[in-house]
Amino acid sequence: MNKIIKVNSASDLLANQFLDKAKGFQQNIELIKVLKSRTFKIGESNVLVRASSEGNRRYFFGINYITVEDIANLDNPFIAFICGSVDRTVIIPAKILFKHLQEISHDRNGEYKISIDKKLNIALTGRNNRIDCSNFINNWGILLSPPVITDERKNTVEESLHSILQGRLIEIGNIRGYDTYCPNKSKTFNEKKLDEITTLTTCPELQFADYNLLRQIDVLWFRNRGNNVVPEYAFEVELSTGVWSGVGRMATLIDYSNVGLYVIANDQRKYKQVISSFPETQNRYKFIANDLLGDLYSSEMNLKELRSDIGL
């Protein structure tokens, strides 16, 4: 067996067996490196692979909210739960699990405890409450022949992740009480178009900024001050290794000394290389790694839930 995953445990061995079986169907296997989780592109599907080597009556999987949300926002997303054997694998569409997440036990850090019973159904809160997984057990058919996505709707993983990060920035701004704007009208986050979750449908015009550049910035947060709308934060998501045009777009806000300019990226080395091209203003920009933004977003959502629970 060709080891795609370095084997350090029995669970790693099971995951390799699953991927080896996928190869047997003449599917191309590729690790999705821009995601932190162990997610693979298998043919036209994107699959998070989780394995539990132990279990008699139940199998347990710890999984973070951010990870499930990442996967659920990709094209043709699945999660494969390997329950002791590759022949006992639940291949479930990630969107189905994502919709049921709030019915699954979790802690305040957003860690969900996925419990799969001996019949390979996923346990939910409440007596005898389950996700019926009978149609997903060893169902390689839905994974290998997912619904056809037209070229107009098809996204690369990088494009999907770009929209996810924009969506998270918008939601954080909304929670904090800012007016939020995003120029991306067609892309979605958690099955909503990005302009459905922003509070502003059009970008405000500013006296000291080029409007054509301003309205193209990935995410903007504004604050109402009297009769004026004042910019507070600007964000650009940069995932490609090419020219980072977003840094130049945010430069139109340089005259607004109060505005925080943030680059969300997965390559700090590339960030330093690009930002060095702006020696006079580089101290205005700040770098945030993708993972840290995910942690911040999760914390903001958890705090919002806690405030709602205690009514304070």
Q: Are residues 171 and 293 in the same domain?
A: yes
Mean pLDDT of 164-188: 96
CA 127 to chain centre: 31
- 2: pLDDT strictly greater than 70: no
Q: How far apart are CA 281 and CA 49, in angstroms?
A: 44
Structure tokens at 252: 């139109």
Q: Is residue 37 part of a domain?
A: yes
Q: Is residue 1 part of a domain?
A: no
pLDDT, tens digit, 9 for 90 and up, residues 114-164: 999 999 999 999 888 999 999 999 999 999 988 766 666 789 999 999 999
Mean pLDDT of 221-240: 92
Mean pLDDT of 293-304: 93
Q: Are residues 253 and 305 in the same domain?
A: yes
- 53: pLDDT strictly greater than 70: yes
Residue of 268, 305, 309 lying closest to 285 (CA atoms): 268
DSSP letters for 135-168 = TTBT-HHHHHSPPP--TTT---HHHHHHHHHHHH
In the structure, how many helices (H) and strands (E) does the chain have?
Answer: 10, 16
Q: Are residues 226 and 303 in the same domain?
A: yes
CATH no. for residue 185? 3.40.1350
Q: How far apart are CA 220 and CA 229, in angstroms?
A: 12
Is residue 227 very low, low, confident or very high in pLDDT (cuts 50, 70, 90)?
Answer: confident
Is residue 39 very low, low, confident or very high in pLDDT (cuts 50, 70, 90)?
Answer: very high
Residue 126: its pLDDT value, please?
86
pLDDT, tens digit, 9 for 90 and up, residues 186-212: 899 999 999 999 999 999 999 999 999
Q: Domain range spanning residue 40? A: 10-144
Q: Are residues 261 and 210 in the same domain?
A: yes
The pTM for the full model equals 0.93
- 243: pLDDT strictly greater than 80: no
- 220: pLDDT strictly greater than 70: yes
Q: Is residue 59 part of a domain?
A: yes
Is residue 104 very low, low, confident or very high in pLDDT (cuts 50, 70, 90)?
Answer: very high
Q: Are residues 212 and 286 in the same domain?
A: yes
What is the enclosing helix (H) or strand (E) of 235?
A: strand 228-238
Q: Are residues 73 and 95 in the same domain?
A: yes
> In one letter, which amino acid is 247?
V
Angle, helices 65-72/157-175, rounded to nearest 10 degrees: 130
Mean pLDDT of 11-32: 92
Alpha-helical runs (H) found in 145-284: 157-175, 194-197, 211-214, 245-250, 268-275
Q: Are residues 73 and 104 in the same domain?
A: yes
Q: Are residues 274 and 252 in the same domain?
A: yes
Which one of 90, 113, 144 terminates a domain?
144
pLDDT, tens digit, 9 for 90 and up, residues 67-84: 999 999 999 999 999 999
Q: Are residues 24 and 134 in the same domain?
A: yes
